[in-house]
Structures are given as structure tokens and as C-alpha cells.
Amino acid sequence: MQVIKYVFQPHGDDRGQLIALEEFRDIPFRIKRVYYMYDTAKDVIRGFHAHRHLQQILVCIHGSCKIRLDNGKEKKVVPLEKPYEGLYVSNNMWREMYDFSPDAVLMVLASELYDESDYIRNYEDFLEYVENCDDTAAKGKGE
Ligand code: TYD
């Protein structure tokens, strides 16, 4: 499994840094939804699901956290600690987010609107689904 991390271009000057993210330029899909997590309680692990179709880019725009990715065959842990780094999370990918610093703000850019029917929340169901599914967006990106 290849981890796909984007390094965004900061527009820095004497005043500080600015990052702009545009769909299809900086982000490989149409951005239909943005959400973010903050004030995450100590030792909390979030996620525990995969998506049938949704793709995401995760950016820890403040503080730090870790992302565990699992494609059903292999697992990888990716630290996110820079506001200019984005982690691509394909569909058919189990994810867990943990080790949030108290000041962490984790922003998610998503390719779809919120749709509960797109979630796979049971790990055994996920393993069965990916075993029988040949529709992973990341395959075209060198998975
Ligand atoms: P949840 O799916 O538990 O978050 P995660 O799995 O990333 O830890 O979402 C928490 C709550 O927020 C849940 O009640 C659903 C709601 N929610 C929305 O209304 N819209 C959204 O886009 C998301 C991601 C969650």
C-alpha cells in the first residue's frame, strides 16, 4: 500500500503563511464537503470505518495526530503534523485517527456529501467488502 501525501504550496511572506486548496488543482477530486475535528479528548480514537465511494484529503491544520490506514491487506500509520501536508484517503480504506495533541484541528476535504449508506462501520464487513471489490480509486494512483 502506497501512502499518498500531498505537500501544498505555502504562499509565505513577512506576514506569515497562506495555503489555498483548489479542487482538481491541489485536490484530486471535486470538494463537496469540508469538516473538521477539534477539542478532541485525550486518548480518543475516531474513525473506525471505511467508505464505499468517498475519497478524502486529511490536513492537520493545527497541532498533530496520527492516522492508521488499512486496505484489508496492509496497515500503515501516518503522522500528520504540518499544516501544509495532506493525506489522501481512498475509498475502500479503513481509517482510525488517534494521538491528537490537545490543540489539534484535523480538517477533512471530502468528495461526497454526508451519506451514512456509504459507510462500512464493521471491520469484518469491510474485509469481506474489499476482498470482493475492484473499485478502489487509489489503484490508479499506484497502490
Ligand atoms: P462520526 O462519523 O462519528 O465521526 P468519525 O467517524 O470521523 O469519528 O461523526 C460524528 C457525528 O457527526 C455523527 O453524529 C455524524 C455527524 N456528521 C455529520 O453530520 N456530517 C458529517 O459530514 C460528518 C463527518 C459527521
Whole-number Å distance between alpha carbons of 36 and 59: 9
Residue nearest (by alpha carbon) to ligand 1 atom 14: 116
Best residue among 31, 40, 45, 46 to mutate for probing ligand 1's pocket (most ligand atoms within 8 Å of CB) is 46
pLDDT in tens, 9-56: 999 999 999 999 999 999 999 999 999 999 999 999 999 999 999 999
Is residue 143 scored above 60 in pLDDT?
no
Using the predicted structure, report yes or no on whether residue 103 has a pLDDT greater than 50. Answer: yes
Nearest to 115 by CA among 35, 43, 52: 52
Residue to mutate (ligand 1; options 32, 49, 97, 113; most atoms within 8 A of CB): 49
Tell me the C-alpha distance between 125 and 112, whole Å.
22
Sorted by where each begins, the domain ranges of the chain are: 5-111
**Fold annotation for 5-111:** Jelly Rolls (2.60.120)
Average pLDDT score over residue span 82-110: 98
What is the per-residue pLDDT across 53-88, written as a single tens digit (0 to 9) for each?
Answer: 999 999 999 999 999 999 999 999 999 999 999 999
CA distance 121 to 79: 23
Q: Measure Cα distances from 82 to 15, 63, 139 in Å.
A: 19, 8, 26
